[in-house]
Homo-oligomer: A and B are copies of this chain.
Amino acid sequence: MLRASDLKLRFCTNETQATREKFVDKLQRLGFDISVPEVFSPPPAVVAVLKERSLRPHLLVYDGVLPEFDFVDKTNPNCVVIGDAAENFSYQNMNEAFRVLIGLEKPVLFSLGQGKYYKETDGLKLDVGVYMKALEYACDLKAEVIGKPSPVFFQSVLNDMGLQPYEALMIGDDLVNDVGGAQHCGMKGVQVRTGKYRLSDESHPTVTADGTVDNLAQAVDMILNQRGH
């Protein structure tokens, strides 16, 4: 229905364990009409920042996302990029990332998200934000977070669509990263009661969604109805 409308559509994810190609493959298999250029994720966003600032990263990321960094100069690193590295968050790999940072005159740490934990079929898993805090403390620095809820991330998507924030609406299940991040950037934010949604989100102390609906289909109905389609 959104495709059939005249609305522009983009997909924003904090996925940092797979390339956009893999991510799109999976969604296509699930029946979504979606293509790689419509997907915005932290890895290509940080690659753009690295290029702009002539930075060469030491990577501590999940193996599956490494191809996103294929054409990035990684020799003689002058910054560190961490993603949701999961099993790669070993003591040895953390020490290596730490030694790169502490050896730099002006250490720069990029974190692909700042999540605390997420749920997998075999239980709760620590997310990248936890290891970001670890390295921040070790090196006495503040990481630059790339991805939702960073306003820079949302702005880059708006730029791609050629839209102003007030012309755009974000739909997501994560109140802080999706809804709050979008609102912080001047967009509207609607939360769906699926996935990460919790009942307590509807009385959150700092973020109030511009609307809350049961699922994506309802969100789409709401948008199209309000436009009079």
Tell me the A residues contacting B by CB distance below 8 Å.
85-92, 94-95, 98-99, 102, 116-117, 123-126, 129-131, 133-138, 140
Q: A99-B124, A133-B133 are in contact. List 18 more A-B contacts (CB 8 A).
A: A85-B91, A86-B91, A87-B91, A88-B91, A89-B91, A95-B124, A95-B126, A98-B124, A98-B126, A102-B117, A116-B137, A117-B138, A126-B134, A126-B138, A129-B137, A129-B138, A130-B134, A130-B137
Contact between chains at B123 and A95 (CB < 8 Å): yes
A41 CB, nearest partner CB in chain B, Å = 22
A98 closest partner in B (C-beta): B126
Smallest CB-CB A-B distances: 10 pairs: A133-B137, A134-B134, A89-B91, A130-B134, A130-B138, A116-B138, A133-B133, A87-B91, A130-B137, A98-B126
State how many copies of this chain the complex holds. 2
Query: Could you tell me the distance between the alpha carbons of A135 and B86 in the complex, rounded to whole angstroms?
Result: 15
Enumerate 5 A-B pairs (CB-CB under 8 Å) in ascending A order.
A86-B91, A94-B130, A116-B137, A130-B138, A133-B133
A87 closest partner in B (C-beta): B91
Query: Could you tell me the distance between the alpha carbons of A89 and B89 in the complex, rounded to whole angstroms?
Result: 9
With most chain B CB atoms within 10 A of its CB, the pick from A88, A99, A126, A133 is A126
A78 CB, nearest partner CB in chain B, Å = 18
Query: Could you tell me the distance between the alpha carbons of A129 and B134 in the complex, rounded to whole angstroms?
Result: 8
B residues less than 8 Å from A116 (CB atoms):
137-138, 140
A223 CB, nearest partner CB in chain B, Å = 34
Query: Could you tell me the distance between the alpha carbons of A90 and B125 in the complex, rounded to whole angstroms?
Result: 12
A116 closest partner in B (C-beta): B138
A122 CB, nearest partner CB in chain B, Å = 10
B residues less than 8 Å from A124 (CB atoms):
95, 98-99, 102
